[in-house]
C-alpha cells in the first residue's frame, strides 16, 4: 500500500462512482438534504430570534411599560342595575399622573418616568386622510424609546410650556401623508370626534421598532400604530382634557383615562426584575381593580433566550436524525456496492491489493460521496439563506457552528457507515471474493 | 542443464471443513516446477486442480505441507506478505477474464502495478507495449464491455505479464472461448513460453495439454500421472 498516491486512490474512487451515476447521485442526495436542512433550519431560527430580540431591545431592556387597560368589571355584559350601566357608559379608569410620580418616588433605581396620552385621530393634509394616533408626551420621548429624529427637531421644553401648536410626525405618517414632499413647516389637521386642530410639522421621527408585535391585551389603550403625531403632553391636556369619547364600536361611550401609558426607566438592567414587586405595590395603592398591564421587555428577552436554547436543541435533534438517515442510506448503498463488487475485490486482491488497500478504496469512495454531498448541502443552505435574507428580506443568519456541525457530522457519518462495508469487503479471503458470482 | 526449481511442494494437503463433514480436496502432493517450464494440470472434475492452482497462486493456503516459491516459504506468510507475492511474482489468467469494468484496456493492464505503488503515468508505455503484444493496439481506451471474450482474455494475459512475474498461472484460460480464439490465446502463451516464462495451466482440453512440456494428472486429490514429454518419462504414482 505504501507509495500509492492518494490522488490515484481518489481517481479510482471517482471512476467507480461514475460507473453508477444514478446510484451515486441518489446517495449524495440524502447527504445534501441532511446538511442543507440543518443549515437552513438553524439559519431561519436564528434569524427569527434575532429579529425578536432586536425588537425587545428596542423597547429598552432597562424599561418597563405600564399601560392602562379597561378593568374586567367595565367589560362585563350589562346587568341591569344603574351603577353598572353607568360604569360602562362613563368608564373612568387607568393610570394617573400621581401614579407616575409615586413610582418615581417610591421605587428604587428608577431614573425617569415618561407619561403618555394617546388618542385615535385622523390626520389630514390636502386630499389625504390617514388614521393616526395622537401622542401627548415629554421632550425626552426620543431618547427614552430610542427613536431617531430623521428631519427637523423634536418637541422642546419651550413648546411644552408655551402650548404653540407644533407637532412631530412619525416617518411612516410623513411618507403616507406627504408622499415624497418635505413635510417640515407644513400644516396638518388632526381631527377627532370632538374637535379638529391645526398643527405645524416641525420634525419627523422614526420609531426604532414597533411595539405592536409584542403580546398585547385586546383592550389595552396604548395600542401603538405606526402613524403617529406627537405633541406636548400639556397641549394634549389643554386641547382634549382627560375624557376620551370612544365611538369606534358604533355606540356612544365615554371613557376617562388620564394617562394611557407610563414608561419607567431603571438605572440598570439588573435593577428591573427585583423592583417589579415594589412597582406593583406603588400602582396597587389606591386601586380596588387592576386597570393596567405591565410589560417587561427584559423578562420577555430572557424568556425568548430560553426559548431559543430549546429551539436550537430541537433543531440539533432534527439535524442528527436527518444526517443519521442520510448515513444509513450511505451504508445501505455501500453494502450493496460491496456485495455487487465482491468479485472485483477478489480480482484486485489477486492482483496484489492488501486488505488495507481495499478498505481505503471503499472508504475514499464514501468520503467522496459525503464531502461532495455535504459540500453541495452547505452551498445550498448558504445560498438559500442568502436569497431569503437579501432577496426576500427575511432575517436569516447562517451560523458557523451549524455549518461545522452539519459538515462534520456528514463526514463522520460517511466514515462510520462507510467503514463497516469497507472492512467487511477487505476481510474476505481473496479466493472467496473471487468465487463470488 | 539442470534447471532451477521455482516451485517446490511437499505433502501439500487441503481440507475444506464444512462443519458436518470435511472434504479432502488435496491429499498430499509432491512435485517441483522448474523455471521456464510449461506445465499442464489435468484431471476429472473435482479432482482438485483449481484448489491446487489457487494455492500455487497464494489466493488460498494449504491446510498442511510445505510450499516454497522461489526461496520463500509461502505457507507461513501473513496476508500482507501474500498480497505482495501475488502482486509482484505471480501472473493470473482466469477462465472468466476478471477484468475491472470501470477501467479501460491500458488501466486494466496497469492494475497489478498500481498495488505495487507504481503510477500509471510512469508505466503507460510499458502497458501499451503489452497491449500491442497481445494485438490490442487499437483498443487501448475500450472498456471490457466493449470487447469480445477473446479480446478480454488477451487483456488478462497482458495484465498477467505487467509485473514481470516469476510464473503465469491460468485456470482453464480458454474454457469460455471458441476453438479459433482458443488457438490465438494458446499461440500467445506458446510465444511467452518461448521467451522463457514459466507457465502452469489447468485444462480439460487435450489440445492445450499437447502444447505443454509436462502434464500432471490429478485424481481424487492425488497426483495420478506426471508425464514429461521429450524425455517421454511417465512417473506412475
Ligand atoms: N470452497 C470450498 N468449500 C468446500 N469444498 C470445496 C471448496 N472448493 C472446492 N471444494 C471441493 O474440493 C474438491 C476439489 O475442487 P476443485 O475446484 O479443486 O476441483 P477441479 O479439479 O478444479 O474441478 P473442475 O474441473 O470442475 O473445475 C471438490 O470436491 C470440491 O467440492
Ligand atoms: Mg476448477
Which residues of chain A neighbour B98 with C-beta distances below 8 Å? Answer: 343, 346-347, 350, 434
- Tell me which residue has its CA closest to atom 30 in ligand 1: B46
Q: Note whether A124 and A272 are same-domain residues.
A: yes
Q: Which ligand is nearest to the CA of B49?
A: 1
| pTM of the complete model | 0.69
Do A347 and B100 lie within an 8 Å CB cutoff?
yes
pLDDT confidence of residue A34: 84
Position A387 in a domain: yes
Which residues of chain B neighbour A351 with C-beta distances below 8 Å? Answer: 86-87, 92, 111-112, 114-115, 159
Q: Is the pLDDT of residue A298 over 90?
A: no
Do A431 and B59 lie within an 8 Å CB cutoff?
yes
* B16 touches ligand 1 (CB under 6 Å): yes
pLDDT confidence of residue A207: 77
Asked if B160 contacts B152 with a C-beta cutoff of 8 angstroms, the reply is no
Position A299 in a domain: no
Position A61 in a domain: no
Q: Is the pLDDT of residue A414 over 70?
A: yes
Do A431 and B54 lie within an 8 Å CB cutoff?
yes
- Tell me which residue has its CA closest to atom 14 in ligand 1: B48
Closest residue of B to A7, CA-based? Answer: B119
- Tell me which residue has its CA closest to atom 10 in ligand 1: B25
| Buried-exposed string B128-141: b where 16+ CB fall within 10 A, e elsewhere | bebbebbebeebbe
Do B83 and A431 lie within an 8 Å CB cutoff?
no
Q: Is the pLDDT of residue B174 over 80?
A: yes
User: At which of A290, A318, A351 does a domain end?
Assistant: A290
Q: Is the pLDDT of residue B169 over 60?
A: yes
pLDDT confidence of residue A84: 62
Do A434 and B59 lie within an 8 Å CB cutoff?
yes
Average pLDDT over residues A182-188: 87
Label residue B93 by pLDDT band (50, 70, 90): very high
Position A346 in a domain: yes
User: At which of A266, A290, A314 does a domain end?
Assistant: A290
- Give the contacts of B229 (CB within 8 A, at least 6 positions apart): B212, B213, B214, B215
DSSP state of B11: E
pLDDT confidence of residue B130: 94
Do A430 and B86 lie within an 8 Å CB cutoff?
yes
**Based on C-alpha coordinates, what's the Rg of chain B?**
18
* B22 touches ligand 1 (CB under 6 Å): no
| Range from A284-288, B68-72, B182-186, B229-233 carrying the lowest mean pLDDT | B229-233
Q: Note whether A176 and A198 are same-domain residues.
A: yes
pLDDT confidence of residue B134: 92
Per CB distance under 8 Å, which residues of A are interface residues toward B?
1-5, 8, 12, 15-16, 18-19, 343-344, 346-357, 429-431, 434
pLDDT confidence of residue A245: 58
Please say whether the dihedral angle defined by the alpha carbons of residues B92, B98, B102 and B105, taken in this order, is positive or negative. positive
| Range from A224-238, A400-414, B62-76, B217-231 carrying the lowest mean pLDDT | A224-238
Q: Note whether A247 and A374 are same-domain residues.
A: no
pLDDT confidence of residue B26: 95
pLDDT confidence of residue A304: 79
| Range from A219-228, A271-280, A307-316, A325-334 carrying the lowest mean pLDDT | A219-228
Average pLDDT over residues B167-179: 91
Average pLDDT over residues B220-224: 94
DSSP state of A286: T
Question: In angstroms, what is the span from residue B20 Cα to ligand 2's centroid?
Answer: 23
Question: In angstroms, what is the span from residue B151 Cα to ligand 1's centroid?
Answer: 28
Label residue A290 by pLDDT band (50, 70, 90): confident
CA A358 – CA A361 distance, rounded (Å):
5
- Tell me which residue has its CA closest to atom 31 in ligand 1: B46
Label residue A173 by pLDDT band (50, 70, 90): confident
Atom number of ligand 1 nearest to Cα B14: 12
Q: Note whether A132 and A236 are same-domain residues.
A: yes
Residues with CB under 5 A from ligand 2 (ion): B 50
From B12, B20, B46, the mutation candidate for ligand 1 (largest count of ligand atoms within 8 A of CB) is B46
Do B83 and A352 lie within an 8 Å CB cutoff?
yes
Q: Is the pLDDT of residue A78 over 60?
A: no
Burial of B200 (0-12, 13-18, 19+ CB in 10 A): buried
Q: Note whether A43 and A162 are same-domain residues.
A: no
Atom number of ligand 1 nearest to Cα B218: 21
Asked if A19 contacts B134 with a C-beta cutoff of 8 angstroms, the reply is no
Average pLDDT over residues B166-189: 91
Can you read off the three cell numbers belonging to residue A64? 418597563
Asked if A296 contacts A62 with a C-beta cutoff of 8 angstroms, the reply is no
Q: Which ligand is nearest to the CA of B221?
A: 1
Can you read off the three cell numbers belonging to residue A305? 433566550
Burial of B19 (0-12, 13-18, 19+ CB in 10 A): exposed
- φ and ψ at A133, to 5 degrees? -115, 125
pLDDT confidence of residue A247: 53
Q: Are strands A187-191 and A110-125 parallel, antiparallel or unpaired?
A: antiparallel
Q: Note whether A99 and A18 are same-domain residues.
A: no
Which residues of chain A neighbour B63 with C-beta distances below 8 Å? Answer: none
From B18, B22, B41, B47, the mutation candidate for ligand 1 (largest count of ligand atoms within 8 A of CB) is B47
Q: Note whether A281 and A350 are same-domain residues.
A: no
* B46 touches ligand 1 (CB under 6 Å): yes
pLDDT digits (tens, 9 = 90+) for B2-56: 568 899 999 999 999 888 899 999 999 999 999 999 999 999 999 999 999 999 9
The total number of structural domains that make up chain A:
2
pLDDT confidence of residue A21: 83
pLDDT digits (tens, 9 = 90+) for A103-129: 888 888 888 888 888 888 889 988 888
CA B156 – CA B177 distance, rounded (Å):
14
CA A183 – CA A123 distance, rounded (Å):
13
Q: B38-47+77-228 maps to which CATH number?
A: 3.40.50.300
Nearest by CB to B86, from A16, A351, A429: name it: A351
Which residues of chain A neighbour B86 with C-beta distances below 8 Å? Answer: 349-352, 430
* Most A CBs within 10 Å, among B61, B80, B91, B114, to test the A interface: B114
* Beta strand spans in B86-172 (E): 90-93, 167-171
Here the contacts of A318-323 (C-beta below 8 Å, separation 24 or greater) are A318/A37, A318/A38, A318/A41, A319/A34, A319/A37, A319/A38, A319/A41, A319/A42, A319/A402, A319/A405, A319/A406, A319/A409, A320/A409, A322/A33, A322/A34, A322/A37, A322/A38, A323/A34, A323/A35, A323/A38, A323/A406, A323/A409, A323/A410, A323/A413
Average pLDDT over residues A408-428: 83
CA B190 remoteness from chain centre: 14
- Tell me which residue has its CA closest to atom 11 in ligand 1: B25
* B49 touches ligand 1 (CB under 6 Å): yes
* B203 touches ligand 1 (CB under 6 Å): no
Position A296 in a domain: no
User: At which of A226, A258, A290 does a domain end?
Assistant: A290
- Tell me which residue has its CA closest to atom 1 in ligand 1: B16
Percentage of chain A modeled with pLDDT above 70: 85
* Most A CBs within 10 Å, among B14, B79, B118, to test the A interface: B79
A:B CB pairs within 8 Å = 81
| Range from A155-169, A384-398, B75-89 carrying the lowest mean pLDDT | A155-169
- Tell me which residue has its CA closest to atom 19 in ligand 1: B46
Asked if B10 contacts B30 with a C-beta cutoff of 8 angstroms, the reply is yes
Which residues of chain A neighbour B56 with C-beta distances below 8 Å? Answer: none
Asked if B104 contacts B141 with a C-beta cutoff of 8 angstroms, the reply is yes
pLDDT confidence of residue A347: 93
Q: Note whether A398 and A376 are same-domain residues.
A: yes
Question: In angstroms, what is the span from residue B43 Cα to ligand 2's centroid?
Answer: 10
- Residue A277 belongs to domain spanning: 70-290
For chain B, the average pLDDT equals 90
Q: Note whether A421 and A310 are same-domain residues.
A: yes
Q: Is the pLDDT of residue A91 over 80?
A: no
The arrangement of strands across the sheet holding A90-93 comes to A90-93, A254-257, A243-245
Question: In angstroms, what is the span from residue A337 Cα to ligand 2's centroid?
Answer: 27
pLDDT digits (tens, 9 = 90+) for A347-375: 999 999 999 999 988 888 888 888 888 89
pLDDT digits (tens, 9 = 90+) for A212-244: 444 444 444 444 457 889 888 888 888 877 666
Q: Which ligand is nearest to the CA of B52?
A: 1
Nearest by CB to A350, from B79, B92, B118: name it: B92
Average pLDDT over residues A284-289: 78
pLDDT confidence of residue A224: 47
Which residues of chain B neighbour A4 with C-beta distances below 8 Å? Answer: 114-115, 117
- In terms of Cα–Cα distance, which of A168, A290, A170 is closest to A232? A168
Amino acid at each position: 500500500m505504501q507509495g500509492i498516491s492518494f490522488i490515484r486512490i481518489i481517481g479510482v474512487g471517482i471512476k467507480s462512482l461514475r460507473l453508477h451515476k444514478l446510484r451515486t447521485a441518489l446517495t449524495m442526495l440524502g447527504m445534501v438534504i441532511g446538511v442543507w436542512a440543518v443549515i437552513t433550519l438553524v439559519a431561519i431560527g436564528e434569524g427569527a430570534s434575532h429579529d425578536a430580540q432586536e425588537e425587545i431591545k428596542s423597547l429598552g431592556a432597562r424599561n418597563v411599560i405600564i399601560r392602562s387597560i379597561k378593568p374586567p368589571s367595565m367589560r362585563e355584559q350589562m346587568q341591569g342595575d344603574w351603577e353598572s350601566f353607568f360604569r360602562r357608559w362613563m368608564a373612568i379608569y387607568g393610570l394617573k399622573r400621581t401614579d407616575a410620580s409615586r413610582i418615581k418616588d417610591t421605587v428604587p433605581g428608577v431614573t425617569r418616568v415618561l407619561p403618555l396620552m394617546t388618542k385615535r385621530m385622523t390626520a389630514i393634509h390636502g386630499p389625504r386622510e390617514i388614521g393616526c394616533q395622537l401622542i401627548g408626551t415629554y421632550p425626552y420621548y426620543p431618547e427614552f424609546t430610542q427613536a431617531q429624529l430623521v428631519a427637523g427637531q423634536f418637541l422642546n421644553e419651550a413648546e411644552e410650556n408655551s402650548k404653540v401648536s407644533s407637532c412631530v410626525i412619525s416617518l411612516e405618517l410623513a411618507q403616507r401623508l406627504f408622499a415624497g414632499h418635505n413635510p417640515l413647516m407644513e400644516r396638518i389637521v388632526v381631527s377627532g370626534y370632538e374637535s379638529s386642530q391645526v398643527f405645524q410639522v416641525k420634525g419627523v421621527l422614526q420609531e426604532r421598532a414597533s411595539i405592536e408585535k409584542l403580546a398585547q391585551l385586546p383592550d389595552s389603550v396604548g395600542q401603538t400604530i405606526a402613524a403617529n403625531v406627537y405633541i406636548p403632553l400639556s397641549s394634549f391636556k389643554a386641547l382634549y382634557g382627560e375624557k376620551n369619547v370612544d365611538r369606534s364600536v358604533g355606540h356612544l361611550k365615554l371613557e376617562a383615562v388620564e394617562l394611557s401609558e407610563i414608561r419607567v426607566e431603571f438605572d440598570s438592567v439588573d435593577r428591573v426584575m427585583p423592583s417589579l414587586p415594589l412597582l406593583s405595590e406603588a400602582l396597587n395603592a389606591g386601586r380596588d381593580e387592576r386597570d393596567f398591564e405591565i410589560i417587561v421587555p427584559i423578562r420577555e428577552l430572557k424568556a425568548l433566550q430560553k426559548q431559543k436554547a430549546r429551539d436550537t436543541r430541537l433543531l440539533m435533534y432534527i439535524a442528527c436524525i436527518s444526517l443519521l438517515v442520510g448515513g444509513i442510506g450511505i451504508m445501505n448503498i455501500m453494502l450493496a456496492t460491496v456485495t455487487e463488487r465482491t468479485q472485483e475485490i477478489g480480482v484486485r486482491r489477486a492482483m496484489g491489493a492488501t486488505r488495507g488497500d481495499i478498505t481505503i478504496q471503499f472508504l475514499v469512495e464514501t468520503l467522496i460521496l459525503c464531502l461532495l454531498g455535504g459540500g453541495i448541502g452547505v452551498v445550498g443552505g448558504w445560498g438559500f439563506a442568502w436569497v431569503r435574507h437579501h432577496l426576500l428580506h427575511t432575517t436569516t443568519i447562517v451560523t458557523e457552528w451549524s455549518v461545522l456541525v452539519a459538515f462534520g457530522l456528514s463526514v463522520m457519518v460517511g466514515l462510520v457507515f462507510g467503514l463497516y462495508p469497507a472492512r467487511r469487503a477487505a476481510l474476505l479471503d481473496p479466493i472467496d471474493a473471487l468465487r463470488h458470482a | 542443464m539442470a534447471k532451477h526449481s521455482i516451485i517446490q511442494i511437499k505433502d501439500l494437503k487441503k481440507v475444506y471443513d464444512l462443519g458436518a463433514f470435511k472434504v479432502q480436496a488435496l491429499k498430499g502432493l509432491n512435485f517441483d516446477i522448474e523455471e521456464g517450464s510449461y506445465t499442464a494440470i489435468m484431471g476429472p472434475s473435482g479432482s482438485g486442480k483449481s484448489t491446487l492452482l489457487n494455492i500455487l497462486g497464494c489466493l488460498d493456503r494449504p491446510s498442511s505441507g510445505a510450499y516454497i516459491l522461489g526461496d520463500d516459504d509461502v505457507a507461513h506468510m501473513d496476508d500482507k506478505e501474500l498480497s505482495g507475492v501475488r502482486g509482484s511474482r505471480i501472473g493470473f489468467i482466469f477462465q472468466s477474464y476478471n477484468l475491472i469494468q470501470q477501467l479501460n484496456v491500458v488501466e486494466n493492464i496497469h492494475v497489478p502495478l498500481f498495488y505495487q505503488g507504481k503510477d500509471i503515468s510512469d508505466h503507460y508505455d510499458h502497458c501499451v507495449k503489452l497491449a500491442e503484444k497481445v494485438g490490442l493496439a487499437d483498443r487501448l481506451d475500450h472498456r471490457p464491455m466493449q470487447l469480445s471474450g477473446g479480446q478480454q482474455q488477451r487483456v488478462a494475459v497482458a495484465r498477467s505479464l505487467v509485473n514481470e512475474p516469476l510464473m503465469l498461472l491460468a485456470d482453464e484460460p480458454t474454457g469460455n472461448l471458441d476453438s479459433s480464439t482458443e488457438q490465438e490465446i494458446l499461440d500467445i502463451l506458446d510465444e511467452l513460453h518461448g521467451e522463457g516464462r514459466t507457465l502452469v495451466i489447468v485444462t480439460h482440453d487435450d489440445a492445450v495439454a499437447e502444447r505443454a512440456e509436462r502434464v500432471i494428472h490429478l485424481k481424487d486429490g492425488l497426483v495420478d500421472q506426471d508425464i514429461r514429454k521429450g524425455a517421454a518419462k511417465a512417473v506412475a504414482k
